[in-house]
Amino acid sequence: MTMSENNGNTFEEHSSDLTSQLDRSIDILRQELEEFGDIYLPKQSVSTSNSQGNQQPSSSPSPMNTIDTCKTLDELEALAETMDDLKTDLEGTRLVFGDGNPNADLVIVGEAPGANEDKEGIPFVGRAGKLLTDILSAIHMDRSVVYIANILKHRPPENRNPSEEERQRSLPLLHKQLELIQPKMVLCLGKVSANTLLGNSTALGELRGEAHPLHVGTHQTECWVTYHPAALLRNPNWKRPTWEDVQLVQKRYLELQCQPDILQSS
Ligand code: URA
Ligand code: URA
């Protein structure tokens, strides 16, 4: 039916029907994103004060400068449990430190924990996490082969994008994780993760498909970039380029003789 066939009434009914349909769809989408621990909710104006009206967590004596004294991931995790600097303005969240092989040659870096991750204290356990697990198994990698962490160690309220300030506050912990693990490769999932770790604001499409040198402390590694699995759930057109990216990562993993040997362990 074209607009000209529409009399005023029908058009109004039609458009109010559409509006309520759209509202319902948005509600469903929000619920799903919440459930999936997806961090790609459209940006809304989120107040930085919490329900009690308090501002950002006050920085009590920061253990940030004791990070350097940590000799193991376990020590670092114990320290991270005490660090207010890692928190967002959402109260009562759980530390999501990282998961997997502490000697991994490949570390995968996401953005921030969502609801599921906050519940379990483990990164990538929601629906995006299941997709990540599937992507890894497509290149014959079990999750236990790699180490998985996020830029932020605590969930942001309403799964909003982490602010620049939050990312910079959390980054020293990820750097220390990388220094302790000493991976040969890092794979960043999504633009926020890549831009934070590489210290640029380059578009994701321009960062894909090549190794970017990355220095953390005295350790030198290389950084690869692909789409975030939560983004793939929204836009399936990104699945093919992601598949191309992870095949490159697999090829490089074998070239660098990374351990464990995924051909033997698969
Ligand atoms: N998205 C992320 O970036 N990290 C998680 O741990 C889960 C979803
Ligand atoms: N935009 C992002 O921020 N991340 C993606 O993975 C894709 C598009």
Together in a domain, 77 and 209 = yes
Together in a domain, 163 and 46 = no
Together in a domain, 97 and 221 = yes
CA of 188 to the centre of ligand 2 (A): 11
Q: Are 130 and 224 in contact (CB under 8 A)?
A: no
Together in a domain, 93 and 213 = yes
CA-based Rg of the chain, rounded to a whole angstrom? 21
- Cα 44 from Cα 9, distance rounded (Å): 34
Q: Among 38, 91, 17, 61, which residue's Cα sits nearest to residue 228?
A: 38
Together in a domain, 104 and 227 = yes
DSSP E strands: which ranges in 25-125? 99-100, 106-110
CA of 109 to the centre of ligand 2 (A): 13
What average pLDDT values come out for the chain (266 residues) when binned by 10 residues?
Answer: 43 50 46 43 34 44 80 97 94 97 98 97 97 97 97 94 96 98 98 98 97 96 98 95 98 97 78
pLDDT (0 to 100) of residue 209: 96
What 3-state DSSP class applies to 104?
A: coil
* pTM of the predicted structure, to 2 decimals: 0.77
- What CATH number is associated with residue 203? 3.40.470.10
Q: Which domain holds residue 13?
A: 3-53
Q: DSSP characters for 158-177? A: GGPPPPHHHHHHHHHHHHHH
Together in a domain, 35 and 163 = no
Please give the tally of structural domains in the chain.
Answer: 2
CA of 190 to the centre of ligand 2 (A): 5
Together in a domain, 23 and 110 = no
Together in a domain, 127 and 32 = no
113 lines ligand 1 (CB under 6 A): yes
pLDDT (0 to 100) of residue 189: 98
- Domain for residue 22, yes or no? yes
Sheet with 185-189: list strands edge to edge: 99-100, 147-150, 106-110, 185-189, 219-226, 212-216
C-alpha to C-alpha distances, 128 to 71, 228, 252, nearest whole angstrom: 32, 8, 24
CA of 146 to the centre of ligand 2 (A): 22
pLDDT (0 to 100) of residue 132: 98
pLDDT (0 to 100) of residue 266: 58
pLDDT (0 to 100) of residue 123: 98
Together in a domain, 77 and 29 = no
Please report which ligand is nearest the Cα atom of 231: 2
pLDDT (0 to 100) of residue 48: 35
- Domain for residue 63, yes or no? no
- Cα 21 from Cα 98, distance rounded (Å): 40
Together in a domain, 45 and 169 = no
Which atom of ligand 1 is nearest to 39's Cα?
A: 1
Which atom of ligand 2 is nearest to 238's Cα?
A: 7
Together in a domain, 109 and 135 = yes
With a CB cutoff of 8 Å and minimum separation 6, the contacts of 153 are 80, 86, 95, 96, 97, 113, 170, 173
- Domain for residue 208, yes or no? yes
